[in-house]
Amino acid sequence: MRVGEIARESGLTPHSVRYYVRIGLLSPSKDAINGYRRFNRDDLGRLRFVRQAKRLGFRLDEITQILGMSAHGRTPCPVVREIVQRRVLETRETLAQMQALQARLEQALALWSGMPDGEPDGHAVCTLIEATVKDHRIDA
């Protein structure tokens, strides 16, 4: 298979396939006649694995580590569990931060609903934002 074919079969873009070759996730053979990269079914399986891992939130460096462990006959499952446990905690923290931001935005919008638009006067940029800080502290 050539780049376009394996991209289509794997659900990735040709650009992504080329990038994965460049960073070493794939090592296709080269056609002796024209120099085109040739991919096989193992490459397709690897691309599908990469795509599944990315959908679970794994970064490319983590995927590289997982593939390397497997290629050397070592199970990557303990590492995968550790990465996912860490990612769950990180995601919880991110969600909490996003919920706090959502609450601040809603508070600001409620505060601003009764305020007039201000005119720039050389001292104020946006009276809505400045009033939020000066007069009516929004919960941080």
Residue 92 or 139, more confident: 92
At which residue do the structure tokens 């399986």 appear? Answer: 45
Instruction: List the chain domain ranges.
Output: 1-74
Is pLDDT of 133 > 60?
yes
Query: Can you spell out the DSSP letters for 8-37?
Result: HHHT--HHHHHHHHHTTS---EE-TTT--E
Instruction: Tell me how far apart the alpha carbons of residues 42 and 21 are, in angstroms, rounded to a whole number.
Output: 14
Residue 94, both tokens: 């991110």
Phi-psi bin for 35: left (phi > 0), alpha (psi -120 to 50), beta? left
Is pLDDT of 63 > 70?
yes
Angle at which helices 60-71 and 41-55 cross, to 10° = 130
CATH dotted code for 1-74: 1.10.1660.10
Model confidence band, residue 23 (pLDDT cutoffs 50, 70, 90): very high
Q: What is the pLDDT of residue 138?
A: 64
Is pLDDT of 136 > 80?
no
From residue 119, alpha-carbon distances to 84, 113, 127, 129 in Å are: 50, 17, 8, 13
Coil, helix or strand for 38? strand
